[in-house]
């Protein structure tokens, strides 16, 4: 009878250890997925930053061209006669 109780206790301990090992394996897999997602988000952020910088550069060029055109279009005020 004592051997049966020891066998049951041993089976419970081994089952618990197997459950812990499996849970750790799942946690490692989830952590790898999260790391991949994080890497992808980081690369997307870099691409968006590059595009934003291109847009800002183009915007500055357009604003400079607008200023040049405005200075050409402006009519110089006539001198008042006294």
Calpha distance 26→32 (Å, rounded): 10
- Examine residue 48 and state whether it is found in any structural domain, yes or no: yes
- Examine residue 79 and state whether it is found in any structural domain, yes or no: no
Give the tens place of pLDDT for each residue, 13-72: 999 999 999 999 999 999 999 999 999 999 999 999 999 999 999 999 999 998 888 888
**Residue 42: C-alpha distances to residues 33, 34, 48 (Å):** 14, 12, 10
Calpha distance 16→4 (Å, rounded): 18
Calpha distance 54→51 (Å, rounded): 5
- Examine residue 80 and state whether it is found in any structural domain, yes or no: no
pTM given for the model? 0.59
Domain count, the chain: 1
- Examine residue 33 and state whether it is found in any structural domain, yes or no: yes
Calpha distance 18→10 (Å, rounded): 12
Which residue segment(s) compose the domain that 31 sits in? 20-69
- Examine residue 26 and state whether it is found in any structural domain, yes or no: yes
Calpha distance 44→46 (Å, rounded): 5
- Examine residue 6 and state whether it is found in any structural domain, yes or no: no
- Examine residue 12 and state whether it is found in any structural domain, yes or no: no
């Amino acid at each position: 009878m004592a051997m049966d109780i020891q066998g049951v206790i041993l089976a419970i301990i081994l089952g618990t250890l197997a459950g812990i090992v499996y849970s750790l394996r799942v946690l490692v897999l989830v952590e790898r997925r999260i790391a991949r997602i994080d890497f992808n988000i980081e690369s997307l952020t870099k691409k968006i930053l590059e595009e934003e910088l291109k847009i800002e550069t183009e915007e500055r060029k357009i604003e400079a061209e607008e200023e040049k055109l405005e200075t050409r279009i402006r009519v110089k005020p006539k001198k008042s006669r006294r």
